Structure 1
Amino acid sequence: MNLDSIETATGRLLLPDAFGNLSDFTLSQPGNWTRPQVPLTARKVYAAAHVTPHVFADNTPGAPAALDWDATLGFRHELWSYGLGVADAMDTAQRGMGLDWTATKELIRRSAAEATAVLKSGNPAVAGLSVRDLIACGAGTDQLDPATIESGRSGLETVLAAYREQLAVVQDSGAKVIIMASRALVRAAQGADDYLSVYSTLLQETDQPVILHWLGPMFDPALSGYWGSEDVEAATETFLSLIRDNASKVDGVKVSLLDASHEAQLRSRLPEGVRLYTGDDFNYPELIHGDGAHHSDALLGIFAAIYPAASTALQAYDVGNKTEGRRILDSTRELGRHIFEAPTYYYKAGVVFMAWLNGKQPGFQMAGGLHSGRSLTHLVRTFKLADRAGLLTDPELAASRMRALLAVGGVA
């Protein structure tokens, strides 16, 4: 029986609190979100998209990822329809947490081909843009087992070879390259100079400017001490020296440290023409809004969950209504903070949960079984906050799916 087709009291259901007490909950109406009729220009943005496994895939940890390509690529088309770029094959797509390199290569090729098709479709929201505007893809070293990497020159050469293999795949696809942080490089590097050597070599070999991604240990504990130091200020100086020495090869930097003050200081010190794409899923409203002198662009996992609101906010910025744009972004903040709460690396479950509630995939599943990374109580709270933000686009469908999840979870 299709639970979604059962006639129920529209938009009403009983939801448990953290102690198991049930109370009546009536859903709100969706927000008044709009798709743009011209490209977004006030901010350069990418939404980091997730992947959907096939419903019959073996989603046990360590199993090769078997993706539902219709649902996975369909979600990217949904993001493009709202004028957002797509950041693919990133940590939101479970790089290093369920998406293996074989599946990643196919994802990059397919997504870039779909982006090319969108440019030819006549969609006014992407008129005049390039493939690189629509799609940016991560190149890392996750085909390596970090545990096998030696410290020193031999390990660094292995890391370079792995990066080169992945860079070639992204560049051949036509997508913009995002050089991702590497767990293997953490194992091989003996100090800041080794990071500078590896990254400088890669930047000189790229054919177009790239995005550098600094992912903090709250997203991936294996990246602690990146850029050669546990001290953020020392690491920042190394990062900046790399960018200044290679500014013509750096389109921008994505910083995911969840520290708004640090990000604001860093963006003011970047060379002219180098963007700062915020990766701060806690403080994105004020960082995107800016301080009058500078603003952040965006490459955000939370945008994959709030994309109708994010697009509508950016459209407001485009017409000079910054107050309305900021108001909309602020209205999603509590949802973002909840989805990305510690342990932050399980945030992908919230992004996938939102896509399932809104009918963008057939089941609440993730590669590697990681949909189990959040509790039922956490998901109930996500549901309530998504409703408050107007981001449950079909309240009756969302209520029906929430009832099904509660029943499976043992809530009578």
Structure 2
Amino acid sequence: MTIRLPGAAGGLREYVPRAEPLAVPAGAPLASRTVFSAAHVVADPRADVSPDSAAAVDWDATLAFRRHLWSHGLGVAEAMDTAQRGMGLDWPVAAELIRRSAAEARAEGGRIACGAGTDQLPGPASPDAVRAAYEEQLAVVEEAGAQPVLMASRALCAAAAGPEDYLSVYGRLLRQSAGPVVLHWLGPMFDPALAGYWGSEDLDKATETFLEIVAAHPDKVDGVKVSLLDARREVDLRRRLPRGVRCYTGDDFNYPELIAGDERGFSHALLGIFDPLGPLAARAVRALDTGDVRGFRELLDPTVELSRHLFESPTRFYKTGVVLLAWLAGHQTHFTMVGGLQSARSLPHLARAYELADGLGLFPDPALAEARMKNLLSLHGVNQ
């Protein structure tokens, strides 16, 4: 069997799908690295909604996907940007997602961390109002029994006059947090509204402010999540973290080398690409658990081409490819996203994502994935 796929330059090409999936056996809990998959949400395709209305979530399918990730030993990073925070998922629905997922994590014995931000603010706000918004969301996460991830705030980026406002807001939040949190530095390639975060467009100056916050509260910072797509900068930063503070890579371009590490340390992981790569990523980390760095790289290095494709510019639309692959893999029955974001990537982009994922053996049922991809192509006028 073959499938005709559209290319970026126009025209169609023949592709022969893989016959068998990659075998990924169950294994022991992950030991050498703490690994979170930032999980997507499954929309309810039957809901009568518009891009301007509150998101309609298929809760059963959404929670089932989290159980899938936990079953392979991964932690779930909930209500993060992969779940379309600020891109279709508003705070009331995100709060419900946090509560439901945290309850499911307790029932399943799974690890969970949840994003706390300021996206309930209706418009421009003062730094004090931003802090209060953070406090509201932090309370929801802590009451749910999840580990908080203090997400980068568009509102704080707009309101802050300089580094001192970041030091003040984050300092007060960390002093009052019930336990250690993860600090999230999300670069403007993921969200253009975050340009100049930590008070400067100069990344060296921004790094100094970021590290000053961590150094002042090392007992309240479990780790930092760095999503700048700059491996060298991440390595330099993690070498300067206080002892006991983890670096969670959010670099979806360079994650194998950062997780493998070097003679001076390594990164843990909190990654959107580990949504579609979950079982394979877990298998790779188990190789690392035994000291088999080569085996780890042999499993994970081939996935980078897919990840770089999904996260290509404009990077913030990577969620579309992630949800496509979840549908093709059989984790949900449709390719619909909250906010209508399924239209955010071109058909050639989606076709290439299918081809790369199939080549890696990511689809448990390759025939199902092929049939669904053919249906999508036919819907767009590409008949087989």
* TM-score of the aligned structures, taking structure 2 as reference length: 0.98
- Is residue 70 of structure 2 the alignment partner of residue 80 of structure 1? yes
Partner of 1:32: 23
Question: 1:62 Cα shift?
Answer: 2.0
Sequence identity of aligned pairs in percent?
58
Amino acid in the other structure paired with 1:34: P
**Whole-Å Cα distance in 1 between the matches of residues 22 and 180 of structure 2?**
37
Which of 45, 53, 61 is the equivalent residue of 1:55?
Answer: 45
Question: 1:338 Cα shift?
Answer: 0.2
Partner of 1:208: 179
Amino acid in the other structure paired with 2:21: P
Partners of 2:284 and 2:297 within 8 A in 1 = yes
Question: 1:21 Cα shift?
Answer: 2.5
Which of 31, 35, 38 is the equivalent residue of 1:41?
Answer: 31
Equivalent pairs counted in the alignment come to 382
Amino acid in the other structure paired with 1:390: G
**Whole-Å Cα distance in 1 between the matches of residues 8 and 189 of structure 2?**
25
Partners of 2:183 and 2:224 within 8 A in 1 = yes
Matching of residues 348-367 of structure 1 within 5 Å? 348-367=319-338
**Whole-Å Cα distance in 2 between the matches of residues 33 and 331 of structure 1?**
15
Partner of 2:117: 140
Partners of 1:65 and 1:98 within 8 A in 2 = yes
Partner of 1:260: 231
**Whole-Å Cα distance in 1 between the matches of residues 261 and 149 of structure 2?**
24
Q: Which string of whole-angstrom CA distances, capped at 9 and with x for unpartnered residues, describes residues 39-81 of structure 1?
A: 1011101000000111112453221011000110000000001
Partner of 1:273: 244
Partners of 1:136 and 1:176 within 8 A in 2 = yes
- Is residue 332 of structure 2 the alignment partner of residue 370 of structure 1? no
Partner of 2:7: 17
**Whole-Å Cα distance in 1 between the matches of residues 331 and 3 of structure 2?**
22
Question: 1:301 Cα shift?
Answer: 0.2
Partner of 2:102: 112
- Is residue 220 of structure 2 the alignment partner of residue 249 of structure 1? yes
Partner of 2:271: 300
**Whole-Å Cα distance in 2 between the matches of residues 20 and 398 of structure 1?**
23
Amino acid in the other structure paired with 1:88: E
**Whole-Å Cα distance in 2 between the matches of residues 317 and 58 of structure 1?**
47
Q: Which string of whole-angstrom CA distances, capped at 9 and with x for unpartnered residues, describes residues 95-139 of structure 1?
A: 0000011111110000000000002xxxxxxxxxxx6xx100000
Partners of 1:195 and 1:228 within 8 A in 2 = yes
Which range moved further: 352-361 or 50-59? 50-59
**Whole-Å Cα distance in 2 between the matches of residues 23 and 259 of structure 1?**
34
Partner of 1:5: none
Question: 1:17 Cα shift?
Answer: 1.9
- Is residue 294 of structure 2 the alignment partner of residue 327 of structure 1? no
Which of 150, 154, 159 is the equivalent residue of 1:188?
Answer: 159
**Whole-Å Cα distance in 1 between the matches of residues 320 and 152 of structure 2?**
21
Partners of 2:284 and 2:299 within 8 A in 1 = yes
Matching of residues 387-406 of structure 1 within 5 Å? 387-406=358-377
Please, which runs of 5 or more residues in structure 1 have no aligned partner?
1-8, 120-130, 150-154
Please, which runs of 5 or more residues in structure 2 have no aligned partner?
none
1:113 counterpart SS class: helix
Question: 1:394 Cα shift?
Answer: 0.9
Partners of 2:6 and 2:347 within 8 A in 1 = no
Question: 1:32 Cα shift?
Answer: 2.0
Partners of 1:31 and 1:389 within 8 A in 2 = yes
Which range moved further: 391-400 or 15-24? 15-24
Question: 1:305 Cα shift?
Answer: 1.3
Question: 1:287 Cα shift?
Answer: 0.3
Matching of residues 111-190 of structure 1 within 5 Å? 111-119=101-109, 134-146=111-123, 148-149=124-125, 155-190=126-161
2:184 counterpart SS class: strand
Partners of 1:34 and 1:311 within 8 A in 2 = no
Partners of 1:64 and 1:99 within 8 A in 2 = yes
Amino acid in the other structure paired with 1:138: G
Partners of 1:313 and 1:329 within 8 A in 2 = yes
Q: Which string of whole-angstrom CA distances, capped at 9 and with x for unpartnered residues, describes residues 245-273 of structure 1?
A: 00000000000000000000000000000
2:56 counterpart SS class: coil
**Whole-Å Cα distance in 1 between the matches of residues 12 and 201 of structure 2?**
45
**Whole-Å Cα distance in 2 between the matches of residues 99 and 160 of structure 1?**
21
**Whole-Å Cα distance in 1 between the matches of residues 305 and 188 of structure 2?**
22
Partner of 1:6: none
Partners of 2:5 and 2:348 within 8 A in 1 = no
Q: Which string of whole-angstrom CA distances, capped at 9 and with x for unpartnered residues, describes residues 352-386 of structure 1?
A: 01100011111101100011110000000001110
Distance 1:297 1:306, change over 3 A: same
**Whole-Å Cα distance in 2 between the matches of residues 196 and 384 of structure 1?**
46
**Whole-Å Cα distance in 2 between the matches of residues 35 and 265 of structure 1?**
35
1:197 counterpart SS class: helix
Amino acid in the other structure paired with 2:240: R
Partners of 1:356 and 1:362 within 8 A in 2 = yes
Which of 306, 331, 346 is the equivalent residue of 2:317?
Answer: 346
1:303 counterpart SS class: coil
Partners of 1:14 and 1:22 within 8 A in 2 = yes
1:199 counterpart SS class: helix
